[in-house]
């Protein structure tokens, strides 16, 4: 039973990480297109995310920065809870890469409490993240360590994967939050297979839409409030 519960938690966490990665990874302000965005405490984004035919509302809000000035702390809420288990998570996003360095969450499955803590490191193999511009490519290796505590037992999972991001075009896209001029970026795995397509907006300072080509799931911006 423990193994079944752990597998269910791992699958749910992987889905949530994909949902999180869609958000705070956009561009700069209108005056400096494609530059590193100036993320501020209080910035907030709401997304409509469809997983297995179920629509979830994912809200992401910047709640603080660390004292050393290395990351933004983002609070995420999911309604309804993902797989009935996780309705909230906290993550620290690197201020330069705007990728999650750590993520913490907790929940309950079949009456048993669990906690999940994830740490990530990144190695840029080629290219640079900023500025974003058409024709640009960046290849990043991500290494993650996931600790899952279920009851009185703790399991550790490690994973390393390399993906290439290609900025293919600038185009207008319309979602519930409005119409935006966006950079269209496609993510490929090590075999050259298309993983996802994301549309990044300078105005929003984040992604406004993503299509997961492996599952067919989508995520779209519903509303936002940025400073």
Please state the three-class secondary structure of the chain as a single string: CHHHHHHHHHHHHHHHHHHHHHCCCCCCCCCCCCCCCCCCCCCEEEEEEEECCEEEEEEEEEEEECCCCCEEEEEEEEEEEECCCEEEEEEEEECCCCCEEEEEEEEEECCEEEEEEEEEEEEEEECCCCCCCCCCEEEEEEEEEEEEEECCEEEEEEEEEEEEEEEEEEEEEEECCEEEEEEEEEEECCCCCEEEEEEEECCCCEEEEEEECCCCCEEEEEEEECC
26 or 226: which leads in pLDDT: 226
215 or 5: which leads in pLDDT: 215
pTM: 0.87
Per the listing, tokens 């302000």 go with 29
How far apart are the C-alpha atoms of 118 and 102, rounded to whole Å?
Answer: 5
CA dihedral 142, 145, 148, 154 (to 10 degrees): 160
Mean pLDDT of 54-63: 91
Q: Structural domain boundaries of the chain?
A: 2-225
Mean pLDDT of 46-66: 88
DSSP 8-state assignment for residue 67: T
Q: pLDDT tens digits for 40-55? A: 899 999 999 887 788 9
Per the listing, tokens 């900023």 go with 130
Is 60:76 a contact under the CB 8 Å cutoff? yes
Q: pLDDT tens digits for 164-175? A: 999 999 999 999
How far apart are the C-alpha atoms of 48 and 146, rounded to whole Å?
Answer: 26
Is 163:140 a contact under the CB 8 Å cutoff? yes
CA dihedral 115, 8, 61, 38 (to 10 degrees): 100
Per DSSP, the three-state class of 215 is coil
Strand 137-150 relative to strand 44-51, pairing? unpaired
Strand 153-175 relative to strand 178-188, pairing? antiparallel
CATH classification (class only), 2-225: mainly beta
Closest by Cα among 68, 90, 154, 159 to 121: 159
Residue 177: the pLDDT is 96
Q: pLDDT tens digits for 117-152? A: 999 999 999 998 888 889 999 999 999 999 989 888
Per DSSP, the three-state class of 3 is helix
């Amino acid at each position: 039973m423990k193994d079944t519960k752990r597998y269910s938690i791992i699958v749910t966490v992987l889905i949530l990480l994909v949902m999180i990665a869609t958000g705070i990874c956009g561009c700069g302000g209108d005056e400096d297109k494609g530059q590193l965005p100036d993320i501020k405490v209080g910035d907030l984004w709401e997304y409509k995310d469809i997983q297995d035919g179920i629509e979830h509302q994912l809200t992401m809000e910047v709640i603080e920065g660390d004292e050393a000035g290395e990351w933004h702390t983002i609070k995420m809420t999911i309604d309804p809870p993902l797989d009935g288990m996780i309705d909230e998570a906290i993550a620290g996003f690197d201020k330069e890469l705007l990728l999650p360095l750590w993520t913490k969450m907790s929940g309950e499955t079949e009456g048993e409490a669990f906690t999940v803590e994830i740490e990530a490191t990144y190695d840029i193999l080629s290219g640079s993240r900023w500025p974003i511009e058409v024709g640009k490519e960046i290849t990043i290796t991500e290494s993650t360590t996931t600790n899952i505590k279920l009851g009185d037992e703790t399991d550790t999972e490690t994973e390393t994967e390399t993906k290439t991001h290609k900025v293919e075009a600038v185009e207008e896209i319309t979602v519930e939050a409005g119409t935006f001029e966006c950079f269209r970026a496609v993510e490929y795995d090590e075999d050259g297979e298309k993983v996802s397509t994301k549309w990044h907006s300078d105005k929003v300072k984040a992604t406004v839409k993503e299509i997961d080509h492996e599952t067919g799931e989508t995520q779209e911006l519903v509303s936002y409030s940025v400073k």
